[in-house]
Amino acid sequence: MRTIKLTISISVFVIAIAFHVTTSVGLMEASSSDAEASHAPGTLTFNKDIAPIIFQNCAVCHHPGGAGPFSLLNYQDVRKRAEQIAVVTESRYMPPWLPEPGYGEFADERRLSDKQIEMIRRWVKDGATEGLSSDLPPTPKFNEGWQLGRPDLVVKMPEAYTLPAGGTDVFRNFVIPIPVTTMRYVKAVEILPGNKKIVHHANLLIDRTQSSRRLDAQDPEIGFGGMDVVVESESFDPDSHFLFWKPGATPWIEPDGMAWRLDAGTDLVINMHLQPSGKPEMIQPVIGLYFTVQPPTSYPILLQLEHDGAIDIPAGKEDFVITDELTLPLDVDALGVYPHAHYLGKDLQALATLPDGTKKWLVRITRWDLDWQAVYRYAAPVFLPKGTTISMRYSYDNSADNERNPNHPPKRVVAGNKSSDEMGHLWIQVLPRARGDVRIILQEALMRQRLRKYPNDFMAHFNLGAALQSMDRLDEAISHYMEALRARPDNVTALNSLGTAFQSIGRLEEAISYYRKVVQVRPDYVDARYNLGNSLLTLSRVEEAITHFRQVIQIRPDDANAHNSLGSAFAMQGNPVQAIAHFEHALRINPAHADARENLKNVRAQKAKD
Ligand code: HEC
């Protein structure tokens, strides 16, 4: 008997950020100001002191074809903008890096030290001299093509999208079908966004159910709008990787055993933040996929904390706070973090409180800026033992003083997908320490937490039901499916799942009544019809069962299970010829179908006896 489990989960990003060729810089040493003081005015030169800072921290974006609006590759370039460089480094606007130092250690940190900032300030103040050419380090070189070498598969967005010349930033999602015919394991993805000057960041989402194509079809233009996309999923298939692109980042290669699965028929959805340039621009990103034959052996999961339901920010409110928390049911290592809010976000905090009371910061951003959002990977995995509570606390500034406020004058803002709405999300990639795939236990904790926030929420009840069902806690699963159906009485997925739960505990009449309801609402819901047929067959209601199996086969002629079930029904009816034909058909479709093989043997033996 086949039980069909279904989950709808909010899908988000698949990882990929970068290590940068940047040194992690420490805080200013106590002695540094004394050391600086010993420099006579004018002793700092570009070639000796400033070029190393710029080449290492700025050139990655500020080179021809890079994300920055101008190059900073030689003395003339830098000299021309020296004053401005002093200002933007002093304010820490450049290089863009949001996390506060001391609140988590990240692998790809790109921050200037206080000492470096001071050196730039002095160099500018003292006349910005060039110095000896022998002191100049080699000019960095940048390869604009694939950073990881030739990909195993290159896919291009089917049609280019034209970004209008002006207006506000555009957040757009493009569906890219992936032409693989067999399942592959992906160890890295590279995104060539095309025009780097207008693409601020990009996220990839994996859509295994092609649900995004519907959204695309509903939108007259290419792609569909919105900043935060929900991808549907039909089985517990949680998002487990961040697939994120930001300018200047090196593509991420998954560690051994952490490749992700790419099925035939999967779409990738690229979620892009685009900034108009003053003239119409064509956008047609290209994605490179790097495969491995190593199947995954470690199963990370993205835990989401959020409290969008609490976001209702009065106009003018300066310090509006939302919180959420999650207590971990297992030992995990946190690998990376992705905080997300829109333009009103101000102070974003994520803190872990361990069972012994110790506090560990997971990230803190005191000057949130959506434009520079990113995934941050920890320099070393952060161990969070079972019983740790992760808490997020985000504050928002909806006053006129917030220069990024999209509304002038400010107005009331609630949660939503548009950039003028707000969001409060924190994604943490964790790897459970237990062997095997134990993510379902985390899913249970996440959904129970979701119920605390939203007691009547369909998704929370449904997903919790599915998690409990897969752990064979069927009575609990049934009561959550029923709650889910109270929220959405005609939801066929929940009706079918409830049917499978009843079927598993042998309450077939109830199972049958739920399956019947599904096929009334959606006659082409083949899984429910198949389950209905099997339940009827178990009750020896053979004729009815045959009708349903025939309908399944009409829609899915290559469904080996349906042929096997139909064969069984004919066998029960005393029709071995038809039975054999369907078992054989099942075996032609799937030669490894053990049940069909066994059934075929039995019916042939029976027939020989007769
Ligand atoms: C991750 C890519 C990136 C890095 C690294 C980076 N920049 Fe920028 N920079 C940009 C982009 C994109 C812009 C234009 C958009 C903006 O101003 O927000 C910019 C703008 C600037 C500006 C103009 C600011 C203004 O107000 O118009 C200056 C000056 C600048 N960068 C200097 C630097 C310096 C100096 C460094 C290194 C210490 C640096 N940048 C590192 C991407 C980068």
| 2 has a pLDDT exceeding 80 | no
Q: How confident is the model at residue 97 (pLDDT cuts 50, 70, 90)?
A: very high
| 152 has a pLDDT exceeding 90 | yes
Structure token pair of residue 19: 């290590």
- Reported in sequence order, the residue ranges of 406-469 that DSSP labels E, i.e. its strands, are 413-414, 424-432
Establish whether residue 85 lines the binding site of ligand 1, counting it when its CB lies within 6 angstroms of any ligand atom. Answer: yes
- Cβ distance 226 to 188 under 8 Å? no
Q: Would you state the torsion angle of the CA atoms of residues 323, 329, 333, 334, taken in this order, to the nearest 10 degrees? A: -20
Average the pLDDT over 480-489 and give the result.
97
* Number of CB atoms found within 10 A of residue 72's CB: 21
Distance 94 CA to ligand 1 centre (A): 5
State how far the Cα of 546 lies from the Cα of 565, in Å rounded to an integer.
9
Average the pLDDT over 217-240 and give the result.
79
What pLDDT does residue 40 have? 56
State how far the Cα of 557 lies from the Cα of 159, in Å rounded to an integer.
34
State how far the Cα of 390 lies from the Cα of 387, in Å rounded to an integer.
10
**Closest residue (by CA) to atom 26 of ligand 1?**
88
| 529 has a pLDDT exceeding 90 | yes
Question: Looking at ligand 1, which atom is closest to the CA of residue 95?
Answer: 41
Q: How confident is the model at residue 333 (pLDDT cuts 50, 70, 90)?
A: very high
> What average pLDDT does the structure give for the chain?
89
Instruction: Report which of residues 142 and 321 the model is more confident about.
Output: 321
State how far the Cα of 72 lies from the Cα of 555, in Å rounded to an integer.
62
Backbone angles phi, psi at 15, to 5 degrees: -65, 160
Residue pointed to by tokens 């992760």: 390
Query: Among 62, 75, 169, which residue has the most ligand 1 atoms within 8 Å of its CB, making it the best to mutate?
Result: 62
State how far the Cα of 23 lies from the Cα of 295, in Å rounded to an integer.
33
What pLDDT does residue 42 have? 53
Q: How confident is the model at residue 277 (pLDDT cuts 50, 70, 90)?
A: confident
| 14 has a pLDDT exceeding 80 | no
Question: What confidence tens digit (pLDDT) does each residue in 36-90 have?
Answer: 434 455 589 999 999 999 999 999 999 988 888 999 999 999 999 999 999 999 9
Structure token pair of residue 555: 């829609």
| 266 has a pLDDT exceeding 70 | yes
Residues 6+ apart with CB under 8 A from 482: 498
Average the pLDDT over 516-536 and give the result.
95
| 27 has a pLDDT exceeding 60 | no
- Cβ distance 285 to 194 under 8 Å? yes
Q: Considering only 86-90, 201-205, 238-242, 262-266, which range has the smallest mean pLDDT?
A: 238-242
Distance 441 CA to ligand 1 centre (A): 43
Question: Looking at ligand 1, which atom is closest to the CA of residue 112?
Answer: 38
| 154 has a pLDDT exceeding 50 | yes
Question: What confidence tens digit (pLDDT) does each residue in 545-585 have?
Answer: 999 999 999 999 999 999 999 999 999 999 999 999 999 99
Instruction: Report which of residues 268 and 38 the model is more confident about.
Output: 268
| 194 has a pLDDT exceeding 90 | no
State how far the Cα of 348 lies from the Cα of 334, in Å rounded to an integer.
18
What pLDDT does residue 234 have? 65
Q: How confident is the model at residue 26 (pLDDT cuts 50, 70, 90)?
A: very low
Establish whether residue 66 lines the binding site of ligand 1, counting it when its CB lies within 6 angstroms of any ligand atom. Answer: no
Residues 6+ apart with CB under 8 A from 314: 320, 398, 412
Establish whether residue 58 lines the binding site of ligand 1, counting it when its CB lies within 6 angstroms of any ligand atom. Answer: yes
- Which sign does the torsion angle of CA 210, 307, 363, 434 carry? negative
Percent of the chain beyond pLDDT 90?
Answer: 74
Question: Looking at ligand 1, which atom is closest to the CA of residue 67?
Answer: 12
Distance 89 CA to ligand 1 centre (A): 9
- Reported in sequence order, the residue ranges of 397-533 that DSSP labels E, i.e. its strands, are 413-414, 424-432
What pLDDT does residue 482 have? 98
Instruction: Report which of residues 229 and 132 the model is more confident about.
Output: 132
Query: Among 63, 94, 198, which residue has the most ligand 1 atoms within 8 Å of its CB, making it the best to mutate?
Result: 94
Q: How confident is the model at residue 18 (pLDDT cuts 50, 70, 90)?
A: very low
What pLDDT does residue 235 have? 67
- Reported in sequence order, the residue ranges of 50-198 that DSSP labels E, i.e. its strands, are 153-156, 161-163, 170-177, 184-192
Angle at 22 between CA 20 and CA 27, to 5 degrees: 130
278: left (phi over 0), alpha (psi -120 to 50) or beta: left
For residue 333, which amino acid is it?
Answer: D
Percent of the chain beyond pLDDT 70?
Answer: 92
State how far the Cα of 252 lies from the Cα of 335, in Å rounded to an integer.
13
Question: What confidence tens digit (pLDDT) does each residue in 503-524 have?
Answer: 999 999 999 999 999 999 999 9
For residue 351, which amino acid is it?
Answer: L
- Cβ distance 584 to 604 under 8 Å? no
What pLDDT does residue 8 have? 29
Q: How confident is the model at residue 135 (pLDDT cuts 50, 70, 90)?
A: very high
Domains of the chain (ranges, CATH numbers): 32-135 (no CATH), 145-292 (2.60.120), 317-407+432-448 (2.60.120.230), 457-609 (1.25.40.10)
Dump the DSSP string for 232-289: --SSS-------EE-TTPPPPBPPTT--EEE-TT-EEEEEEEE---SS-EEE--EEEE
Query: If residue 382 lies in a helix (H) or strand (E), which one and from where to where?
Result: strand 376-384
Average the pLDDT over 125-154 and give the result.
93
Backbone angles phi, psi at 320, to 5 degrees: -95, 130
**Closest residue (by CA) to atom 28 of ligand 1?**
85
* CA-wise closest residue to 128 among 49, 32, 21: 49
Distance 45 CA to ligand 1 centre (A): 21
Establish whether residue 95 lines the binding site of ligand 1, counting it when its CB lies within 6 angstroms of any ligand atom. Answer: yes
Establish whether residue 248 lines the binding site of ligand 1, counting it when its CB lies within 6 angstroms of any ligand atom. Answer: yes
Residues 6+ apart with CB under 8 A from 135: 45, 47, 48
Establish whether residue 81 lines the binding site of ligand 1, counting it when its CB lies within 6 angstroms of any ligand atom. Answer: yes
State how far the Cα of 479 lies from the Cα of 465, in Å rounded to an integer.
8
Helix 594-609 to helix 576-589 angle (10° resolution) is: 150
Establish whether residue 199 lines the binding site of ligand 1, counting it when its CB lies within 6 angstroms of any ligand atom. Answer: no
| 260 has a pLDDT exceeding 90 | yes
Kindly give the residue spans of alpha helices, DSSP state H, lying in 58-111. 75-80, 82-90
**Closest residue (by CA) to atom 9 of ligand 1?**
68
Establish whether residue 61 lines the binding site of ligand 1, counting it when its CB lies within 6 angstroms of any ligand atom. Answer: yes
What is the arrangement of strands in the sheet containing 389-396, beginning at the earlier edge strand? 320-327, 389-396, 345-353, 359-365
Angle at 13 between CA 362 and CA 190, to 5 degrees: 110
What pLDDT does residue 166 have? 87
Kindly give the residue spans of alpha helices, DSSP state H, lying in 343-399. none
Helix 114-125 to helix 82-90 angle (10° resolution) is: 150
Instruction: Report which of residues 2 and 184 the model is more confident about.
Output: 184
State how far the Cα of 360 lies from the Cα of 354, in Å rounded to an integer.
8
Q: How confident is the model at residue 361 (pLDDT cuts 50, 70, 90)?
A: very high
State how far the Cα of 202 lies from the Cα of 195, in Å rounded to an integer.
12
* Number of CB atoms found within 10 A of residue 319's CB: 11
Query: Among 22, 72, 88, which residue has the most ligand 1 atoms within 8 Å of its CB, making it the best to mutate?
Result: 88
What pLDDT does residue 128 have? 95
DSSP letter assigned to residue 415:
B
Q: How confident is the model at residue 608 (pLDDT cuts 50, 70, 90)?
A: confident
